[in-house]
């Protein structure tokens, strides 16, 4: 197989796929970078055919000096952090629960995974209209049943509500990965710890949790990538109002609502930087955890 001829043949045959993938990534990236340095307002008659005016870093300066920039970054980080915290903690608990032998295990496991199959738009709408509606929602009925004043979830606790919705969607993913990790734990290790005098909590802390470290890392990294770009859940619930405007949503508003493609592109580049900073930060923390 590893003759010179077969190796070059392999290279030639892989080339189209590599070129396609590179193009897929590089073209949008380069276009975004280009737009971010130009004045591009389609409603004012700017277009690529007529040529765009080079404005240097004006878009970057404007995007970052906007009063909505830092709150948007903050909202993004709170939302990602909140969802990660909820999904990892509940995921570990659910995984341990599902690992116990019980009747109807197969069905229960499928039910737990189910939310992951629901489209984000649909699940956000279901939460908004069926659960969180302050007049007809199930929560409102529940609150009234106990004699309490119904909460206008998406207005008064908007950020927490969206965190709740997104956590519900991502909990199955975390649970699934953590469950497979827990199942690979050697039961003799737990028994050895039991013989060594470790009560349940300490067995969890010293044996189960370190065993899960790697899986938790994977859950956190993958979820972070997807959570930084949450959009549908915000769009169909609050539309970015009540302090739920994330960086992604801000960029959307700049490009679509304000029809300022240059400014939005600059925001996109900031989002890339933010994602990388978060990723490096996470790698560092999690990497240390793996060594301990």
Partner 1 sequence: MGQIQLKQVTKSFGSTEVIPPLDLTIEDGEFTVFVGPSGCGKSTLLRLIAGLEDITTGHIEIDGQDATSVVPAKRGLAMVFQSYALYPHMSVRKNIAFPLRMAKLDQAAIDQKVEAAAAVLNLTDYLDRRPGQLSGGQRQRVAIGRAIVREPSAFLFDEPLSNLDAALRVGMRLEISELHERLKTTMVYVTHDQVEAMTMADKIVVLQAGVIEQVGTPLELYRTPRNIFVAGFIGSPKMNFLTGEEAAKHGAHTVGIRPEHIDVVESGGAWQGTVGVAEHLGSDTFFHIHNTGLAETLTVRAIGDVSLRHGDTIHLSPRVEEFHRFDAAGLRIA
Chain residues that interact with partner 1, rule: CB under 8 A: 186, 188-189, 191-199, 202, 206-207, 210-211, 213, 292
Measured from the CB atom, is 34 or 206 closer to partner 1? 206
Angstrom CA distances, 1 to 8, 9, 17, stand at: 11, 11, 21
Measured from the CB atom, is 203 or 245 closer to partner 1? 203
What counts of helices (H) and strands (E) characterise the chain? 14, 2
Q: How far is Cα 246 from Cα 230, in angstroms, rounded to an integer?
A: 8
Q: How far is Cα 72 from Cα 244, in angstroms, rounded to an integer?
A: 8
Angstrom CA distances, 22 to 15, 25, 30, 245, 271, stand at: 10, 5, 12, 32, 21
Measured from the CB atom, is 204 or 226 closer to partner 1? 204
Least distance to partner 1, CB of residue 87, Å? 23
Measured from the CB atom, is 129 or 180 closer to partner 1? 180
Least distance to partner 1, CB of residue 105, Å? 18
Measured from the CB atom, is 193 or 269 closer to partner 1? 193
Measured from the CB atom, is 58 or 213 closer to partner 1? 213
Least distance to partner 1, CB of residue 280, Å? 24
Task: Take residue 58 and report the two structure tokens written for it.
Answer: 């004006």
Least distance to partner 1, CB of residue 71, Å? 40
Least distance to partner 1, CB of residue 272, Å? 35
Reduced to 3 states (helix: H, G, I; strand: E, B; else coil), residue 87 is: helix
Measured from the CB atom, is 205 or 281 closer to partner 1? 205
Least distance to partner 1, CB of residue 200, Å? 11
Instruction: Give CA 32 to chain center in angstroms.
Output: 22
> How many Cα atoms sit within 13 Å of 151 on the Cβ side?
14
Least distance to partner 1, CB of residue 286, Å? 14
Task: Take residue 218 and report the two structure tokens written for it.
Answer: 């994977």
Helices 209-227 and 261-291 cross at an angle (nearest 10°) of 180
Rg (CA), the chain: 24
Q: How far is Cα 239 from Cα 253, in angstroms, rounded to an integer?
A: 10
Measured from the CB atom, is 203 or 254 closer to partner 1? 203
Angstrom CA distances, 59 to 44, 264, 285, 287, stand at: 16, 8, 33, 36
Least distance to partner 1, CB of residue 208, Å? 11
- The residues with which 39 forms a beta bridge, in sequence order, are 53
């Amino acid at each position: 197989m590893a003759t010179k001829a077969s190796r070059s043949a392999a290279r030639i045959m892989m080339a189209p796929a590599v070129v396609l993938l590179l193009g897929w990534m590089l073209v949008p990236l380069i276009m975004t970078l280009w737009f971010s340095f130009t004045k591009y307002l389609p409603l004012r008659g700017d277009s690529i055919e007529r040529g765009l005016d080079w404005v240097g870093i004006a878009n970057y300066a404007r995007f970052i000096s906007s009063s909505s920039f830092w709150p948007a970054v903050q909202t993004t980080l709170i939302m990602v952090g909140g969802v990660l915290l909820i999904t990892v903690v509940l995921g570990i608990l659910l995984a341990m629960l599902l690992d116990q032998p019980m009747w109807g295990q197969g069905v229960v496991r499928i039910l737990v995974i189910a939310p992951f199959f629901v489209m984000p738009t649909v699940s956000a709408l279901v939460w908004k209209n069926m659960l969180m509606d302050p007049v007809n929602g199930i929560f409102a009925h529940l609150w009234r049943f106990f004699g309490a004043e119904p909460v206008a979830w998406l207005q008064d606790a908007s950020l927490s509500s969206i965190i709740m919705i997104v956590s519900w969607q991502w909990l199955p993913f975390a649970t699934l990965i953590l469950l497979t990790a827990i199942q690979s734990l050697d039961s003799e290790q737990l028994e050895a710890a039991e013989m060594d005098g470790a009560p349940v909590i300490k067995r969890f802390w010293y044996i189960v949790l370190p065993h899960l470290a790697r899986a938790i890392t994977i859950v956190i990294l993958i979820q972070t990538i997807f959570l930084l770009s949450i959009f549908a859940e915000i769009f169909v619930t609050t539309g970015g109002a009540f302090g739920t405007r994330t960086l992604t949503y801000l960029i959307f508003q700049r490009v679509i609502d304000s029809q300022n493609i240059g400014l939005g592109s600059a925001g996109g580049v900031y989002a890339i930087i933010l994602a990388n900073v978060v990723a490096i930060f996470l790698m560092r923390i999690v990497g240390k955890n793996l060594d301990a």
